Structure 1
């Protein structure tokens, strides 16, 4: 099928999806969480439930590029500590998608976007007053990893919106920029690939959606290259403010649609 006619996408609709794909690449190599804007665009252009399946392979393409860029900086003990809790969250999110119809998914995505915007604002404010991170082996540290893992797994399965949750966890654990990017790159590559069978089983990924993904993946590459160039040059404070504003607008648009 012609990808331009999939779900009756107009030229402007495809252009919006292409811009969202470019943002995915940028977020994976520069500012984690920027793809919440991509999530809002996908859910606005496509049916909300189907948009999660179409966006997933685009995210995986960005994850591959991020791993190739920052593979030397991953912290594997943190990843192994998170994965069991994330698996629980992914299963919970899958069960939710089995039950939810398109309207509920659209409303849920909108609510998650607003929640993630609030989380990001809170994270930025608390980052201004550094706190001692929980030690890895303590009870508090283990509980925090489990809590963030379950929430991250659920939000990434339902809305591909686990980025802000994991960003907040990694920052609270004391990761610096390169370690943050390397660890999150492997985290999301592994988690997103593991979601593919669930999404395919729910009918969210099929041959037609993959045709659209193939067309959109082309735009992920320049976004990732620009992110790699900009990561040490960007005014991140201003960019995060713009991302938060766009995320709020996108969330409200989905809730009021």
Structure 2
């Protein structure tokens, strides 16, 4: 443990913050998809912004696996198949962006993405409260919506692991209820995040040093996922989402002003 802390030049408080962020990843994957934007802000604040995306990705995959095991029976595969091609295009665009972005650009980009995602979440909450019939993926407008959200989700998840709020807004606007939402989201992010590993490794964002830190942080994902599985049936989600939005805005501003 001391070796890892020294190798990454972490303080005790910094490591504790990463551990809490990993726990929140597990919680978000089984309770409130998109809440891990707070974890993104913590990782980018404690670690170098560029390196933080590579360290966070395996932690997210650990959470995805737990979410799939929990909600695997509730996934809607027709929606997933329509999203994946557009997401692939977004991931490629994000990879090209990462080829030239340095640490300062990455920090600014992550901060901007966090603020945009907070705005997206507010929009999602208001759209979910409307009484209009949502577009489905079988209509022309629904297919266009899937492609648009897919490209944006692929880009944001590749650049900053921040595709959660984008996909959350899409799934809710498409009329998904809680369990269908969680099951579809779980499989979506497991497939997308695993597909990002070769790109991230090729860019030097994932290596042996980062994986050792991931192995330690993954331990904290499990209790977070168990807590989320319990909380999804008890939590006041409206209040929680407001807290997540506030924390995301603070994290984004912190990165932009640092």
Q: Work out the CA distance in 1 between the residues paired with 2:253 and 2:7.
A: 26
Q: Work out the CA distance in 2 between the residues paired with 1:6 and 1:28.
A: 29
Q: Contact 2:88–2:154 at 8 Å: present in 1 too?
A: yes
- Measured on the aligned residues, the alpha-carbon RMSD in Å equals 0.9
SS in structure 2 at match of 1:248? helix
Greater CA drift, 1-10 or 55-64: 1-10
Q: Work out the CA distance in 2 between the residues paired with 1:81 and 1:55.
A: 27
SS in structure 2 at match of 1:2? helix
Moved segments of 4+, more than 3 Å:
none
Listed as ranges, the gaps of 5+ residues in structure 2 are none
Structure-2 residue corresponding to 1:87: 88
Q: Work out the CA distance in 2 between the residues paired with 1:65 and 1:216.
A: 15
Q: CA deviation at 1:3?
A: 1.4
Q: CA deviation at 1:24?
A: 0.1
SS in structure 2 at match of 1:166? helix
Structure-1 residue corresponding to 2:247: 246
Number of aligned positions between the proteins: 257
Q: Residues 68-79 of structure 1 correspond to what in structure 2 (within 5 A)?
A: 68-79=69-80
Q: CA deviation at 1:128?
A: 1.8
Q: Work out the CA distance in 1 between the residues paired with 2:246 and 2:213.
A: 28
Greater CA drift, 120-129 or 54-63: 120-129
Q: Work out the CA distance in 1 between the residues paired with 2:170 and 2:99.
A: 28
- The CA deviation string for residues 135-161 of structure 1, in whole angstroms up to 9 with x for no partner, is 322221111000000000000000000
Q: CA deviation at 1:133?
A: 1.5
Structure-2 residue corresponding to 1:97: 98
1:126 has 2:127 as partner: yes
Q: Contact 1:6–1:212 at 8 Å: present in 2 too?
A: no
SS in structure 2 at match of 1:133? coil
What is the TM-score with the length of structure 1 in the denominator?
0.99
Q: CA deviation at 1:7?
A: 2.2
Structure-2 residue corresponding to 1:33: 34
- The CA deviation string for residues 103-154 of structure 1, in whole angstroms up to 9 with x for no partner, is 0010000000000000111111222223211132222111100000000000
Q: Contact 1:88–1:153 at 8 Å: present in 2 too?
A: yes
Structure-2 residue corresponding to 1:174: 175
Q: Contact 2:75–2:183 at 8 Å: present in 1 too?
A: yes
1:12 has 2:27 as partner: no
Q: Contact 2:67–2:225 at 8 Å: present in 1 too?
A: yes
Q: Work out the CA distance in 1 between the residues paired with 2:32 and 2:192.
A: 19
Structure-2 residue corresponding to 1:256: 257
Q: Work out the CA distance in 1 between the residues paired with 2:136 and 2:117.
A: 25
Structure-1 residue corresponding to 2:206: 205
Q: Work out the CA distance in 2 between the residues paired with 1:53 and 1:135.
A: 34
Q: Contact 2:136–2:175 at 8 Å: present in 1 too?
A: no
